[in-house]
Amino acid sequence: MEVLKMDNQEATLAVLGAKFDALHGDFSDMKKTMKEVASALNKLTLVEERQQQSSSAQKRLFDKLDSLESRIDELEKVDVKHGQAAQWVMNAVWAAAGLAAMYVAKMVGLV
């Protein structure tokens, strides 16, 4: 009977040892998986940071584009005014030339 108890205890210890080995393996797998999750999370954090940097750079570009568009609008308005002023000056020059021609014609006696 004592030999049977001894075999039974040894069998129980062997089963417990196998279960502890399996549990140790499971914990090792969990540690490995947790390391992989931590690595993936770090990579995700880097991607998010880069995306935020890209988003802020895109916002700065759009702001600069808006600024440039408003400057172009102002320059186009000035150019239109400049064109009108140039047209008025040319009309005045032609009018002065016409007056001068009329004066010369009158002095010469053509008119």
DSSP letter at 111 equals -
Q: What is the pLDDT of residue 37?
A: 96
Cα 102 to chain centroid, rounded? 68
Is residue 48 within 8 Å of residue 56, measured between CB atoms? Answer: no
Q: What is the pLDDT of residue 30?
A: 95
pLDDT digits (tens, 9 = 90+) for 52-76: 999 999 999 999 999 999 998 888 7
Ramachandran bin of 109, using left for φ above 0, alpha for ψ from -120 to 50, beta for the remaining angles: left
String of b and e for 44-53 (b: at least 16 CB within 10 Å)? eeeeeeeeee
pLDDT digits (tens, 9 = 90+) for 3-55: 556 688 888 888 888 888 889 998 999 999 999 999 999 999 999 999 999 99
Q: Which helix (H) or strand (E) holds 87?
A: helix 2-108
What pTM did the predictor assign? 0.47
